[in-house]
Amino acid sequence: MQPSLLSSILFATIVAGTPLIITAVGELVTEKSGVLNLGAEGIMSMGAVAAFAVTVHTGNPILGILAGMVAGMGMGLIFAVAALTFMANQVASGLALSIFGVGLSAFIGKPYESQTLPSVAAWNVPGLHKIPLLGHAFFEHQGLVYFSWALLGAVAWFLYRSRLGLVLRAVGEAPVAAHSVGYNVVRIRYVAVIFGGAMAGIGGAFLSVFYTPLWVEGMVAGRGWIALALVVFATWRPARVMVGAYLFGGCMITQMFVQGSGIQLNIPSQFLSALPYAATIIVLVIISHNKNTIRLNSPASLGQPFSPEA
């Protein structure tokens, strides 16, 4: 049966939102620990290229995802060393990571440019995928889409229902107090940053192995930055990350559907392509407008270096 247009739009929205969810949830955990890592764009790029290269050589997309994850963890580690051990300015270190990651991924990926991979088969959820309309939209996806949902649930549970999550949040809100009751703030932040890196790496891997199974320089195309904006949009709450990610996913696929539908619009394609970026700005404005929402929800020590001696 041919899926209906609405069903297809929902389906594509979810797919487009998936790398954003994975990356943004990772960043959310990082930021909850009080560390602002602006390197998501660079980490995703490295994750994408590592995953693509490994999948090309092994033919195994699972190994590809793992490679993307490991690359992301490595990038997170580099950032953590700079920002946590060397106490470098987090904003500047994050920018450095982005520039470095985008550059290095282009360098590594050169031999793979213009190669493609066979697309990864979807995994239909038994039973559920037969539901009319919603079945195709929600339950005929590639594995990482389900992973993004599980991740959201797990992180929400971890942050608000587990003891370790409480510690993580305490480290982000009041590192000095957490330190004085015996928690190793720097070590906890290291873990949070590396986790964030791992997720951004998987987010990138999704792009190059699942979403568009190819590697081209610049293919992350700002999604890392959009994921950062999503965390603000979500006011640091996991469930809202999902809403935001699908909102952006919808924005990104609008142009494809408009262009593919044969509707003759008098709009240059570039204007449609600019939609997600413009939407990011608009959404940021709407959310940031109320200073209290941001101040009350963002981790109190976000972006501030912590030295156990001071």
Partner 1 sequence: MWLKFEQRPEPSRLMRYLSPLLAVGLMVASGMLLFHLLGKSPVEGFKVFFLNPIQDKYGIAELFLKATPLILCAVGLAVGFRGNIWNIGAEGQLLIGALAGGGLALHFHDTSSLLLLPAMIIAGALGGMFWAAIPAWLKTRFNANEILTSLMLVYIAELIVSWLVHGPWMDPDGFNFPQTRLFQAKATMPILVAGTRVNAGLLIAIGALIAGWIFMNRSFMGYQMKVAGQAENAGRYAGFSARRTVWIGMLVGGAMAGIAGVAEIAGPVGQITEHISPGYGFAAMIVAFVGRLDPIGIFFSGLLMALLYLGGEQAQQYLALPYSISKVFQGLLLFFLLCSDVFITHRIRWKK
Q: Which is nearer to partner 1, 153 or 308 (CB)?
A: 308
Q: Which stretch binds partner 1 (CB under 8 A): 19-27, 203-211, 234-242, 281-289?
A: 281-289
Q: Is 7 left (phi over 0), alpha (psi -120 to 50) or beta?
A: alpha
* Apex 137 CA angle, 266 and 126, nearest 5: 160
229 binds partner 1 (CB under 8 A): yes
Instruction: Figure out which of the listed residues 8, 214, 277, 302 binds partner 1, where binding follows CB under 8 A.
Output: 277
Strand ranges in the chain using DSSP code E only, listed in sequence order: 123-124, 140-141
Q: Which stretch binds partner 1 (CB under 8 A): 9-17, 124-132, 155-163, 265-273?
A: 265-273
Cross-strand partners of 124: 140
Q: How far is residue 198's CA from residue 74's CA, in Å, rounded to a whole number? A: 8
Q: Which stretch binds partner 1 (CB under 8 A): 11-19, 126-134, 165-173, 285-293?
A: 285-293
Instruction: Select from 30, 32, 29, 27 the least CA-distant residue to 44.
Output: 27
Q: Which stretch binds partner 1 (CB under 8 A): 65-73, 146-154, 195-203, 286-294?
A: 286-294
Q: Which is nearer to partner 1, 242 or 287 (CB)?
A: 287
Q: Which is nearer to partner 1, 33 or 93 (CB)?
A: 93
Q: How far is residue 6's CA from residue 136's CA, in Å, rounded to a whole number? A: 10
Residue 152 Cα to chain centre, angstroms: 12
The contact mask relative to partner 1 for 50-89 (x = CB under 8 A, - = no) is ----------------------------x--xx---xxxx
- # residues near partner 1 by CB under 8 A: 49
Shortest Cβ distance from residue 235 to partner 1 (Å)? 13
225 binds partner 1 (CB under 8 A): yes
Structure tokens at 259: 């262009």
Instruction: Figure out which of the listed residues 133, 177, 274, 296 binds partner 1, where binding follows CB under 8 A.
Output: 274
Q: How far is residue 228's CA from residue 222's CA, in Å, rounded to a whole number? A: 10
| In contact, 42 and 27? CB cutoff 8 Å | no
Instruction: Figure out which of the listed residues 59, 103, 132, 153 binds partner 1, where binding follows CB under 8 A.
Output: 103
38 binds partner 1 (CB under 8 A): yes
Q: Locate tokens 């995953």: which residue?
A: 51
Instruction: Select from 237, 228, 248 the least CA-distant residue to 97.
Output: 228
Q: How far is residue 35's CA from residue 306's CA, in Å, rounded to a whole number? A: 10
Q: Which is nearer to partner 1, 75 or 152 (CB)?
A: 75
294 binds partner 1 (CB under 8 A): yes
Judged by CB under 8 A, the chain residues 106 through 165 that form the site for partner 1 are 106-107, 110
- Phi–psi pair at 225, nearest 5 degrees: -70, -40
| In contact, 41 and 223? CB cutoff 8 Å | yes
Q: Can you give the binding site for partner 1, defined by CB under 8 A?
A: 38, 42, 78, 81-82, 86-89, 91-93, 95-97, 99-104, 106-107, 110, 217, 221-222, 225, 228-229, 232, 268, 270-271, 273-274, 277-278, 280-281, 284-285, 288-289, 291, 294, 307, 309-310
